[in-house]
Amino acid sequence: MGGKEDSLAGQLKRHKDLVGAMWRLLPQLVDSNGSDDSLAQRALIAQTVLGNLKGPMMKIGQLFGNIPSLLPEPYADSFRSLQSHAPSMGWPFVKRRMAGELGPQWESLFESFSKKAVFAASLGQVHRGRLVQGDEVALKLQYPNMASVMKADLSHIKVWMKLFGVVGGVFDLTEIFNEAEESLLGELDYYQEAHWCETFKNCLEGVPGVHIPNTYPSLSTGKLLVLSLGRGRLF
């Protein structure tokens, strides 16, 4: 993961962004008192800060929102909403990113393409499209410079863990952190994700009630994953 996606300049910029975000975030977290309205307002500000940060920091917010009684309920609700209502990148970003992955004539590959993301997460966002041959697809598009973002965030998290004595102290989570770091960095490789989709599709072929989407290798890259769009249902 070298080059522009993982540059020293990118990591330094992310460190600067993190410091600025912490200055905006901490005042919203240090005081859990006040009226319900003021708590809800501060929780919304904290949610916006984490949502715009993306990356592991947003994942931590999602995690904290799902730990019972860890946060006041307005904060827990706001952080949980990041799982399905995270802010997405706009159309100018999408056009540049798609052109970078598939070339300047990428739009000619699609009969239709949703300019607005249908889902946004911590590492990328999803768009719907219809290929010129008629196939409906979901396109998972990674945010820019996520390798630099990931490494900068993980270095900050490791510093905080040392400060709280959970790395190198009596209660040592070093091995867990290292495994989580490897897993998170692996999430940036969409070639790997496509490989596992195909692997599970082959293993589960013919199993009733299980459907694994098709991958489109000719349209997928390390930062863009194109899958057939399926219809799910609850049991």
The yes-or-no verdict on residue 223 having pLDDT over 70 is yes
Please report, as a single letter, which amino acid is at residue 95.
Answer: K
List, in order, residues 6 or more apart from 126 with CB less than 8 Å away.
Answer: 117, 118, 119, 120, 138, 139, 140, 141
More confident residue, 210 or 75: 210
Q: Is 120 exposed, middle or buried (0-12, 13-18, 19+ CB in 10 A)?
A: buried
* Residues of the chain above pLDDT 70, percent: 80
| Phi, psi (degrees; rounded to nearest 5) at 227 | -130, 155
* pLDDT in the model for residue 135: 96
Residue 169 has pLDDT above 60, yes or no: no
Question: Quick check: 6 pLDDT over 70?
Answer: no
Exposure of 11 in the CB half-sphere (CA atoms within 13 A): 14
pLDDT for residue 1: 43
Query: What is the residue-averaged pLDDT of the chain?
Result: 81
Tens-digit pLDDT profile for residues 34-66: 556 677 887 788 778 777 777 777 777 777 777
Give me the mean pLDDT over the 14-36 stretch: 66
**Core vs surface per residue 153-169: b (16+ CB within 10 A) or e:** bbebbbeebeeeebbee
pTM of the model: 0.72
Rounded distance between C-alpha atoms, residue 136 and residue 216, angstroms: 11
Q: Residue 128 in contact with residue 229, Cβ under 8 Å?
A: yes
Residue-wise pLDDT tens digits, 108-146: 999 999 999 998 888 899 999 999 999 999 999 999 888
Token look-up 């070298």 returns 2
Can you give the pLDDT at residue 110? 98
Q: Where residue 32 falls among pLDDT bands split at 50, 70, 90?
A: low
Beta bridge partners of 142: 124
- Residue 108 CB coordination number (10 Å): 9
Q: Which residue do the tokens 């006041």 mark? A: 72
- Give the whole-number percent of the chain exceeding pLDDT 90: 34
Average pLDDT, integer, range 201-207: 91
Query: What does the pLDDT read at residue 100?
Result: 94
Q: Which class is domain 91-142+189-228? A: alpha beta
User: What residue ranges do the domains of the chain occupy?
Assistant: 3-83, 91-142+189-228
218 phi, psi to nearest 5 deg: -70, -20
pLDDT for position 181: 78
3-state helix, strand, coil in the chain (%, to 5): 55, 10, 35
pLDDT at 214: 93
pLDDT tens string 89-104: 899 999 999 999 999 9
